[in-house]
């Protein structure tokens, strides 16, 4: 009977996306474990480094994340001394997100593990396939896609 043979993930793109996310984050987390960072945290540290000293709002937009959600997620990283929020001098509403020395060091440490995870992923999934998949996913994450979806 079809009902039992087909999963929601076979028909619902969102559930397929979340299910794959759970699996992959699990796999990356396992590899990153020795660093004490989860892949989500490593991702944040990496993006904070890449973004220079972006404001919370800017970083939230880049990450396609709710501003307050980002604030919450940063809490453990701030508590552990990897990240700090520096008030902007000109606009006193703004706080800039920066890596501490310890944070930079931690990111660099974990980078080797991430590279290992990424290598394993590409070995299993294919290097070109991986790149194509990221492109597809980044399209979905784009604000232009959200606009199209909402107006459609």
Partner DNA sequence: TTTATTTACTGGCATATGCCACTATATAAT
Partner DNA sequence: ATTATATAGTGGCATATGCCAGTAAATAAA
User: What region, left, alpha or beta, does residue 64 occupy, with left being phi > 0 and alpha being psi -120 to 50 degrees?
Assistant: left
Exposed/middle/buried for 21, CB within 10 Å: 0-12, 13-18, 19+? exposed
56 binds DNA (CB under 7 A): yes
CB 34 within 8 A of CB 112: no
39 touches a copy of itself by CB under 8 A: yes
Residue 33 is a binding residue for a copy of itself (CB under 8 A): no
Give the single-character DSSP code of 66: -
Rounded to 5 degrees, φ, ψ at 83 are -135, 150
Identity of the residue, 105 or 118, whose beta carbon is nearer to a copy of itself in the bound complex: 118
Tell the smallest beta-carbon distance from residue 131 to DNA (Å): 22
Residue 65 lies near DNA (rule: CB under 7 A): yes
Assess 138 for contact with DNA (CB under 7 A): no
| 89 contacts a copy of itself (rule: CB under 8 A) | no
Q: Say if CB 107 and CB 45 are below 8 A apart.
A: yes
Does residue number 127 form part of the binding site for DNA (CB under 7 A)? Answer: no
In the set 33, 34, 36, 40, which binds a copy of itself (CB under 8 A)? 40
92 forms part of the interface with DNA (CB under 7 A):
yes
Nearest CA-CA partner of 49 in 89, 116, 110, 103: 103
Q: Name the site residues for DNA (rule: CB under 7 A).
A: 18, 22, 25-26, 29, 38, 40-41, 55-57, 60, 64-73, 76, 79, 85, 88, 90-96
């Amino acid at each position: 009977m079809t009902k039992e043979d087909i999963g929601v993930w076979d028909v619902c793109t969102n559930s397929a996306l979340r299910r794959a996310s759970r699996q992959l984050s699990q796999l990356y987390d396992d590899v990153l474990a020795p660093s004490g960072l989860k892949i989500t945290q490593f991702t944040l540290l990496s993006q904070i480094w890449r973004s220079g000293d972006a404001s919370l709002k800017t970083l939230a937009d880049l990450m396609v994340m709710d501003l307050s959600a980002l604030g919450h997620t940063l809490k453990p990283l701030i508590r552990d001394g990897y990240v700090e929020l520096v008030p902007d001098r000109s606009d006193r509403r703004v706080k800039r997100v920066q890596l501490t020395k310890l944070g930079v060091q931690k990111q660099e440490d974990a980078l080797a593990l991430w590279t290992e995870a990424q290598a394993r992923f590409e070995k299993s999934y294919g290097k070109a396939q991986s790149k194509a998949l990221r492109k597809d996913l980044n399209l979905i994450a784009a604000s232009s896609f959200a606009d199209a979806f909402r107006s459609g």
